[in-house]
Amino acid sequence: MDVQNNLAQWRAKRGLGASQLAAAVGISRQTVYAIEAGSYVPNTTVSLKLARILDTTVEQIFQLGPEEPATAETSEAIVLGDPESMSPGQPLRLCNVNRHVVAVIPEAGAWGLPPTDAVMLSAIRAGKRHANAKVRMVGTDWKTSSRILIAGCDPSASLLATALQRQGCELVIAYENSSQSLELLHEGLVHVAGTHLTENDELSPITKLFPRNSVAVISYAIWEEGLVLAQGNPKKISGVTDFIRKDVRIANREPGAGCRILLDELLNEHGIAARQVKGYERVVLGQLPAARLVQSGEVDCCISTQAGARTLGLDFIPLVRKPYRLVVRRKQLEFPPIQTLIETLGRASFRREVETCIGYDMRTAGDRLD
């Protein structure tokens, strides 16, 4: 159902400018304009503040339009991943990004079906910025302007999604490695990219892809990367030099993943050839999937973050501390959900939740680095 509003009329009736109203409510002037234009629906807290300041009721400002009949709409979308490897009926989540309909595979819940906006029908063609699949829509909720798409490998993205949901924003997560996340942002297929690639120059992976002053870099966390081991470390693994032992099997990450880059650096540092490491060719997509192989006993070790180990109750030997950052196109910084995301990072309650749950250092979360 469409949400219609009379905010502009009530603001004029009370003689308030957009900046005055924004300051009183605690939102930006651009957000006021977005609400008035109908391109952004505020959360309950903002709606109640607007009604109080304008001396009216929420119902006088916002009304529900007529409910549209449900239709099984078929459309084309850009599916992140390989559509040709997906079976018909694959559940998908959708998001509007730079006028593209972008689809990602949702993470399944432990006991139920994942949230679904569409189902896969068939692959049609490949190509950057071009639809590569035909999908059938389940509904129209995905068209909301409060939904944003983030690509990254951080397990705590689910905590951020929950925090944003409480404020009326939806975060759709594409679990991709750092290199792929930056590529997707470069191609205009996500709103936000998460990365922990640093190299020698802190921002060099970003400056290689994006023109100067075209993106904003936001601090998220400082995390530890290291060896994720079975509980109690039964194989007594103490470092990468143990990877050449015949009784040690590892799981690796895909090329471009920060954890794989760290592994290659450490092997090179100790003069160990990849062929000497049992399991080097076993590629796993994602930090938690790699850690789950350790938990199941299929492998003895992987390189991942402390978050993966803590989440699954595994042992962890830290090797390096690295910053995890969010990258956003500067032109999208005024997009209300992006503003809400950045503000959320700086909140003490959110920082404390992430620090408690997975042990990140969140002291600089929300800080602009560029």
Q: Which domain holds residue 135?
A: 69-143
Residues 24-32: contacts with CB within 8 Å, 24+ apart?
24/49, 24/53, 25/49, 25/50, 25/53, 27/336, 28/334, 28/336, 28/339, 30/334, 30/336, 31/336, 31/339, 32/7
Q: Is residue 275 part of a domain?
A: yes
Average pLDDT over residues 151-167: 91
Same domain, 48 and 106: no
The last residue of one of the domains, among 110, 143, 176, is 143
Residue 152 in domain: no
Buried b (16+ CB within 10 A) or exposed e, 277-307: bbbbebebebbbebbbbbbeeebbbbbbbbb
- 152-156, 283-287, 364-368: which has the highest mean pLDDT? 364-368
Chain position carrying tokens 């954890």: 259
CB 294, CB 251: distance < 8 Å: yes
Residue 74 and residue 28 in one domain:
no
In which band, very low, low, confident or very high, does the pLDDT at 72 lie, cut at 50, 70 and 90? low
DSSP 100: E
Is position 188 within any domain?
no
Alpha helices in the chain (DSSP H): 7-13, 18-25, 29-37, 44-53, 58-61, 157-165, 178-186, 204-209, 258-269, 287-296, 306-312, 336-345, 348-358
The pLDDT score that the predictor gives to residue 139 is 82
Residue 73 lies in a domain: yes
* pLDDT for the residue 297: 95
Q: Cα Rg for the chain, rounded, in angstroms?
A: 23
pLDDT single digits (tens) 126-149: 655 678 899 999 888 888 889 999
Of the three residues 143, 173, 193, the one that is the final residue of a domain is 143
Q: Is residue 108 very low, low, confident or very high in pLDDT (cuts 50, 70, 90)? A: low
Per-residue model confidence (pLDDT) at position 86: 87
pLDDT tops 80 at residue 71: no
User: Would 161 be classed as within a structural domain?
Assistant: no
Query: Does residue 107 share a domain with residue 78?
Result: yes
Number of domains in the chain: 3
pLDDT digits (tens, 9 = 90+) for 218-269: 999 999 999 999 999 999 999 999 999 999 999 999 888 889 999 999 999 9
303 and 238, same domain (yes or no)? yes
pLDDT for 333 equals 93
| Residue 338 covered by a domain | no
Question: What is the maximal distance between C-alpha atoms in the chain?
Answer: 78
Q: How high is the mean pLDDT of the chain?
A: 89
Instruction: Give domain status of residue 200, yes or no.
Output: no
* DSSP class of 91: E
Residue 184 pLDDT grade (very low, low, confident, very high; cuts 50, 70, 90): very high
For residues 100-119, average pLDDT:
82
How does residue 201 score in pLDDT terms, banded at 50, 70 and 90? very low
Single out the residue of 176, 114, 97 nearest to residue 338, CA to CA: 97
In this structure, are 114 and 41 located in the same domain? Answer: no
Closest to 156 in 3D by CA, of 92, 223, 255, 91:
223
pLDDT at 115: 86
Give the whole-angstrom CA distance, residue 193 versus residue 248.
34
With H, G, I as helix, E, B as strand and everything else as coil, classify residue 285.
coil
Closest listed residue to residue 316, CA positions, set 226, 250, 222: 226
pLDDT band of residue 70 (cuts 50, 70, 90) is: low
110 & 53 share domain = no
Q: Is the pLDDT of residue 18 over 80?
A: yes
Please tell me the predicted confidence (pLDDT) of residue 308: 86
Give backbone dihedrals phi and psi of 248, rounded to 5 degrees, phi first: -115, 125
Q: Tell me the pLDDT band of 207, cut-offs 50, 70 and 90.
A: confident
For the entire predicted model, the pTM comes to 0.76
Decide if 357 is inside a domain. no
DSSP assignment of 174-213: EE--HHHHHHHHHTT--SEEEE----SSTTHHHHHHS-TT
| 30/118 same-domain check | no
Q: What is the mean pLDDT of residues 162-182?
A: 91
Strand partners, 96: 101
Q: Is the pLDDT confidence value at 349 over 80?
A: yes
- pLDDT band for position 202 (cuts 50, 70, 90): very low
Residue 218's DSSP bridge partners are 326, 368
Q: What is the CATH number of the domain that holds 291?
A: 3.40.190.10
Confidence bin at 69 (pLDDT 50/70/90): low
The reply to whether 235 and 310 lie within a common domain is: yes
Does one domain contain both 115 and 82?
yes
pLDDT digits (tens, 9 = 90+) for 224-236: 999 999 999 999 9
- 313 in the same domain as 254: yes
CA proximity to 284, closest of 189, 161, 175, 171: 175
What does the pLDDT look like over 75-90, one tens digit per residue?
A: 899 999 888 888 899 9
**Beta-ladder partners of 258:** none
Residue 85 confidence (pLDDT): 83
The pLDDT of residue 258: 86
